[in-house]
Structure 1
Amino acid sequence: MAQNAKLGALTEELIRSIVKFDPATNKQAYRHAKDLAKQGLRAHQYGRTNQFDVQASYKGLDEKFRVLNRDDLADALDKRLEELQAIPNKWTPEYLSLLLQLSDRPVENSQVEALELLRPPPPTPPLTWAEIVADDPYSDEDIWKDIDYAAESSEDDRTPKKRGGRQSKEDSLPSSIDHNDAYDPESCIVPVHAQAIQEISESQFWKAAPEEQLDKIEITELQAIREALFMLAGLPTSLYVNNPKNGSIRVNHKYNFSHALTATMEDLLSQLADIGQDLYRLRQWTLRRSPLPLIQTFEAAIQFRLTEYDHEYLASQQRRYLVPDTPIAVSLLELHHDIRSTSRPLVQLAKLVAEIEPLLLVNPFAHLETLFDRTGAAQMALESDVFEFLSKIFFECLQTYLKPIRKWMESGELGANDETFFVFESDSGSEVSSLWHDRYVLRRGKGNALRSPEFLQPAAHKIFNTGKSVIFLKELGIYGTGLASTEPEPRLDHLTVCGDSSTVPLSPFAELFEAAFERWIRSKFSLASTVLREHLFVQFGLFRILKVFSHLFLGEDGSVFQDFADAIFERMDSRQRGWNDRYLLTELARGVFTNSFAPSDVDKVIVRTISIKDQGRSVKNLRSIAMDYALPWPIMNIIQRSSISIYQQVFTFLLQTYRAKYLLQRVEWNQLVRLKDNRLTHMAYKLRQRLMWFSDILRSYLSETVIAISTQAMTADMGRAEDIDEMSNIHIKFLARLQEQALLSQNLKPIYRAIISLLDLGVLFSEIHEKIVQKLPTAKLRHDLPPKSPAKPAKAANRRKSVIPLVVENQSSDSSDSELDADGDNPVGEGSSGDAGLKTLNQIEEQFGKLLPFVTAGLRSVSRAGAKPVWEMLAERLEWDKPEDKL
Structure 2
Amino acid sequence: MAQNAKIGALTEDLIQSIVKFDPETNRQAYKHAKDVAKQGLRAHQYVRTNQFDVEASFNGLDEKFRVLNRDDLADALDKRIKELQTVPNKWIPEYLSLLLQLSDRPVENSQVEALDLLRPPPSPPPLTWAEIVADDPYSDEEIWKDVDYAAESSEEERAPKIRGGRGDKEDSPASSIDKDDTFDPESCVIAVETDAIEEITKAQFWKARPEEDLQKIAITELQAIRETLFMLSGLPTSLYLSNAKNGSIRVCQKYNFSHAITTTIEDLLSQLADIGRDLYRLRQWTRRGSSLPLIQTFEAAIKARLGSYDQYLASLQQKYLVPDTPIAVSLLELHHEVRTASRPLLQLAQLVADIEPLLLVNPFAHLETLFDRAGIAQMTLEFDVFEFLSKIFFECLQTYLKPIRKWMESGELGTNDETFFVFESDSGSEVSSLWHDRYVLRRGQGNALRSPNFLQPAAGKIFNTGKSVVFLKEFGIYGASLASSGPEPKLDYETLCGTSSELPLSPFSDLFEAAFERWIENKFSLASTVLRQHLFSECGLFRIFTVFHHLYLSADGSVFQDFADAIFERMDSRRRGWNDRYLLTELARGIFATIFVSSDLERLVVRTAHIKDHGRSVKLLKSISMDYALPWPVMNIIQRSSIPIYQQIFTFLLQTYRAKYLLQRVAWEDFTRSNDDHSSQLSYKLRLRLMWFSDILRSYLTETVIALSTQTMIAGMEKAEDIDEMSDIHLKYLARLQEQALLSQNLKPIHRAIVSILDLCIHFSDIQAKVRLKDLTAKARLERPPKSPTKTAKTLSRRKSFIPLVENLSSDSSDNEVHPDDYNASGEARAEEVSSNTLTQINEQFGRLLPFVTAGLRSVSRAGAEPVWDMLADKLEWNKPRDKF
Give the conservation status (yes or no) of the 8 Å contact 1:286–1:302: yes
Unaligned runs of 5+ in 1: 1-11, 58-97, 106-113, 125-133, 136-164, 784-791, 804-819
Structure 1 708/871 Cα, relative in aligned 2: closer, same or farther at 3 Å? same
Match of 1:758 in 2: 757
How does 1:124-139 map onto structure 2 within 5 Å?
none
Deviation at 1:216, TM superposition (A): 1.0
Change (3 A) 1:469 1:679: same
Q: By how many angstroms is 1:833 displaced?
A: 2.9
In the alignment, the residues of structure 1 paired with residue 801 and residue 425 of structure 2 have an alpha-carbon distance, to the nearest angstrom, of: 58
1:712 aligns with 2:724: no
Q: Which residue of 2 aligns with 1:191?
A: 191
| Residues 75-86 of structure 1: pairs in structure 2 closer than 5 A | none
- 1:247 matched residue in structure 2: 247
Q: Which residue of the partner structure matches residue 836 of structure 1? A: 834
CA contact 2:423–2:440 (8 Å) conserved in 1: yes
| Alpha-carbon shift at residue 256 of structure 1 (Å) | 1.0
Judged with a 3 Å threshold, the aligned counterparts in structure 2 of structure 1 residues 351 and 186 are, in CA distance, closer, same or farther, namely farther
Q: Which residue of 1 aligns with 2:62?
A: 47
**Using the alignment, how far apart are the partners of 1:497 and 1:824 within structure 2?**
96
Paired residue type of 1:612:
I
Residues 16 and 22, structure 2, Cα contact 8 Å, conserved in 1: no
Q: Which amino acid aligns with 1:882?
A: K
- The alpha carbon displacement at 1:780 in A equals 6.3
Deviation at 1:486, TM superposition (A): 1.5
Equivalent residue for 1:482?
A: 481
Residue 285 in 1 paired to residue 285 in 2? Answer: yes
Cα displacement (A) at 1:832: 3.4
Partner-residue secondary structure (3-state), 1:689: helix
Q: Hey, what's the Cα distance between the residues in 2 that align with 1:871 and 1:549?
A: 25
- Quote the offset at 1:123 in angstroms: 13
Give 2:155's aligned residue: none
CA 18–275 in structure 1, closer or farther in 2 if over 3 Å, else same: closer
Q: Is the 8 A contact 2:804 2:822 kept in 1?
A: no
Instruction: For structure 2, list consecutive stretches of 5 or more residues without a partner in the other structure.
Output: 1-9, 25-33, 35-46, 74-109, 131-139, 142-165, 783-791, 806-819
Alignment-derived partner of residue 323 in structure 2 = 324
C-alpha distance in structure 2 between counterparts of 1:419 and 1:120, whole Å: 67
Q: Distance in 2 between matches of 1:569 and 1:492?
A: 67
1:43 alignment partner AA: S
Alignment CA distance shift 1:801-1:824 (3 Å): closer
Residue matched to 2:102? none
| Counterparts in 2 of 1:675 and 1:214: CA distance versus 1, 3 Å | same
Q: Which stretch of the first structure deviates more once superposed, 450-459 or 762-771?
A: 762-771
CA distance in structure 1 between the partners assigned to 2:667 and 2:822 by the alignment: 26
Q: Give the match for residue 786 of structure 1.
A: none
2:859 pairs with one of 853, 858, 861: 861
Do structure 1's residue 848 and structure 2's residue 846 form an aligned pair?
A: yes
Counterpart in the other structure of 1:458: 457
In 2, Cα distance between equivalents of 1:487 and 1:219: 65
| Contact 1:554–1:650 (CA under 8 A) maintained in structure 2 | yes
| CA drift at 1:885 | 11
Note if contact 1:470-1:528 (Cα within 8 Å) is conserved in structure 2.
yes
Identify which range, 675-684 or 835-844, moves more after superposition. 675-684
Distance 1:52 1:597 in 2: 88
Aligned counterparts, 1:250-269, within 5 A: 250-269=250-269
The equivalent of 1:527 in structure 2 is 526
5 Å-filtered alignment, 1:573-652, equals 573-652=572-651
Query: Is the partner of 1:43 in helix, strand or coil?
Result: helix
Q: Deviations over 1:772-802 (max 9, x none)?
A: 2111156669x9xxxxxxxx99999898597
Change (3 A) 1:569 1:208: same
TM-score (norm 1): 0.79
- Which string of whole-angstrom CA distances, capped at 9 and with x for unpartnered residues, describes residues 750-779 of structure 1? 111111010000001111111121111566
Secondary structure of residue in 2 paired with 1:600:
helix
Q: Quick one: distance in 1 between partners of 2:761 and 2:333?
A: 102
Deviation at 1:42, TM superposition (A): 3.8
Asked if residue 101 in structure 1 is aligned to residue 116 in structure 2, the reply is no
TM-score, length of structure 2 as denominator length? 0.79
Counterpart in the other structure of 1:699: 698
Tell me, what secondary structure is at the counterpart of 2:490? coil
Q: Is the 8 A contact 2:589 2:604 kept in 1?
A: yes
1:617 is displaced (CA, Å) by 2.6
- Displacement of 1:190 in angstroms is 3.5
Which stretch of structure 1 is more off in the superposition, 831-840 or 445-454? 831-840
Q: 1:99 to 1:423 in 2, by over 3 A?
A: farther
Distance 1:46 1:541, change over 3 A: farther
Query: Cα distance 1:642–1:236, how it changes in 2: closer, same or farther (>3 A)?
Result: same
Distance 1:122 1:695, change over 3 A: farther
Deviations along 1:652-674, one digit per CA (max 9) or x if unpaired, are 00000000000000001122222
Structure 1 contact 823–832 (Cα < 8 Å) conserved: no
Tell me the equivalent position of 1:425.
424
Q: Which residue of 2 aligns with 1:334?
A: 333
> Counterparts of 2:768 and 2:386 in 1: how far apart (Å)?
89
Assess if the C-alpha contact under 8 Å between 2:426 and 2:439 holds in 1: yes
Q: Which amino acid aligns with 1:47?
A: D
3-state SS of 1:776 partner:
helix
Deviations 1:75-120 (A, max 9, x none): xxxxxxxxxxxxxxxxxxxxxxx99725999xxxxxxxx99x9999
Residues 670 and 768 in structure 2, CA contact (< 8 A), matched pair in contact too: no
1:861 positional shift: 1.0
Aligned match of 1:235: 235
Q: How many residues align?
A: 748
**Partners of 1:314 and 1:339 in 2: how far apart?**
9
Report the counterpart of residue 73 of structure 1 in structure 2. none
- Deviation track 1:520-550 (CA, whole Å, cap 9, x = no partner) reads 0000000000000110011111111101101
User: How far off its partner does 1:43 sit?
Assistant: 3.2
Structure 1 residues 529-585: Cα deviation after superposition (integer angstroms, max 9, x where no partner): 000011001111111110110111000010010011001001001011111111111
Q: Distance in 2 between matches of 1:197 and 1:540?
A: 92
Deviation string 1:385-436 (CA, Å, 9 cap, x unpaired) is 0000000000000000000000000000100000000000000000000000
CA distance in 2, matches of 1:191, 1:411: 74
Partner residue in 1 for 2:100? none
Report the alpha carbon displacement of residue 693 of structure 1 after superposing the two structures with TM: 0.6
Between the aligned residues of both structures, percent identity stands at 67
In the aligned structure 2, how far is the partner of 1:17 from the partner of 1:580? 107
CA 1:802 to 1:721, structure 2 compared with 1: closer, same or farther past 3 Å? farther
**Separation in 1 of the partners of 2:183 and 2:634?**
90
- Indicate the residue corresponding to 1:80 in structure 2: none
Counterpart-to-counterpart distance in 1, 2:437 and 2:269: 63
Q: Secondary structure at 1:529's aligned position in 2?
A: helix
Distance (whole Å) between structure 1 residues aligned to residue 766 and residue 600 of structure 2 = 38
> How far does residue 675 in structure 1 lie from its aligned partner after superposition?
2.0
| Alpha-carbon distance between aligned partners in 2 of 1:730 and 1:740, rounded to the nearest angstrom | 15
